Amino acid sequence: MRVVSLVPSLTEAVALTLPGVLVGATDWCSHPDGLDVARVGGSKYPDLDRVRALRPDLVLLNEEENRLADADALRAAGVPVRVTYPRTVSGALTELADLLGELGAPGEPDWLRAARRAWADPPRPATERRAVVPVWRRPWVVLGADTFAEDVLRRLGVVNLYDDDTERYPRPTLDELRGREPDLVVLPDEPYRFTTEDGPEAFPGVPCALISGRHLTWYGPSLAEAPALLAEQLARPVLAD
């Protein structure tokens, strides 16, 4: 098999599980460390000529991270594609197992078994916290319903105050965000890089948890350590004046 991945989390999963199968990845595929494959541009705007030149047996995409127009263009050129779209942790674990099996893995890798164990009984606080979860600012964009990241947080005892919105990624004003009166604001470091100096100041007096965006949104080997790491980060919020 020759696989090109346009999804960073799947790049990591394939590279760690089936060394030698992956022949191409995006410029944003940062894991595993030292990954040595051809680069084909960004996730949103990959160089499809470079992808085709690698003669892939399969190209991996994600419905949210990549443009479906690129998937259609590759199919039209005779290149097999697989578009992933997990919206829950359990769905991601199943989809990963199916994908790796189809690519030739003899069984579930250790990291996937560890992820199943970790998510079977994730750490939860005694009391649920009502939260808003911005993933971008200028304009503000938050997690809505039916998203993988929302399911991750729900399993860790965080109730998304936008889980009743008709949009999966609503764009409320800052006044609307504050008006939800959250117990907690969850600020990941990707896709927007929120920091202690950029984000909490917009929510004075409200605890803000700065968390790993990779562990919140990636479905791959990071799932094994995500419950413990995210629970620790959620338990240590900062408070802006």
**162-217 per-position pLDDT tens digit:** 998 888 999 999 999 999 999 999 999 999 999 999 999 999 999 999 999 999 99
CA–chain centroid gap for 79, Å, is: 25
Return the pLDDT at 206: 96
Return the pLDDT at 240: 79
Tell me the per-residue pLDDT of 1-31, one tens digit each, with 9 for 90 and over.
899 999 999 999 999 999 899 999 999 999 9
Express as a percent the part of the chain with pLDDT over 90. 93
> Which region holds residue 130: left if phi is over 0, alpha if psi is between -120 and 50, else beta?
beta
Return the pLDDT at 19: 86
Return the pLDDT at 87: 93
Mean pLDDT of the chain: 95
| Fold (topology level) of 124-239 | Rossmann fold (3.40.50)
* Mean pLDDT calculated for residue range 58-78: 94
Q: Distance between CA atoms of 37 and 60, rounded to whole angstroms?
A: 15
Instruction: Check pLDDT > 90 for residue 122.
Output: yes
* Mean pLDDT calculated for residue range 136-140: 96
Return the pLDDT at 9: 95
Phi, psi of 59 (to 5 degrees): -115, 130
Express as a percent the part of the chain with pLDDT over 70. 100
User: What is the DSSP code string of 104-124?
Assistant: T-SS--HHHHHHHHHHHS---
**Residue of 154, 161, 152 lying closest to 133 (CA atoms):** 161
The pLDDT confidence band at residue 239, using thresholds 50, 70 and 90, is: confident
Instruction: Check pLDDT > 90 for residue 50.
Output: yes
Instruction: Check pLDDT > 80 for residue 241.
Output: no
H or E element, residue 50: helix 48-53
Return the pLDDT at 137: 96
Give the CATH class of 3-85. Answer: alpha beta
The pLDDT confidence band at residue 227, using thresholds 50, 70 and 90, is: very high
| Cβ atoms 210, 201 nearer than 8 A | no
Tell me the per-residue pLDDT of 72-88, one tens digit each, with 9 for 90 and over.
999 999 999 999 999 99
CATH 3.40.50.1980 domain range(s) in the chain: 3-85, 124-239
Instruction: Check pLDDT > 90 for residue 49.
Output: yes
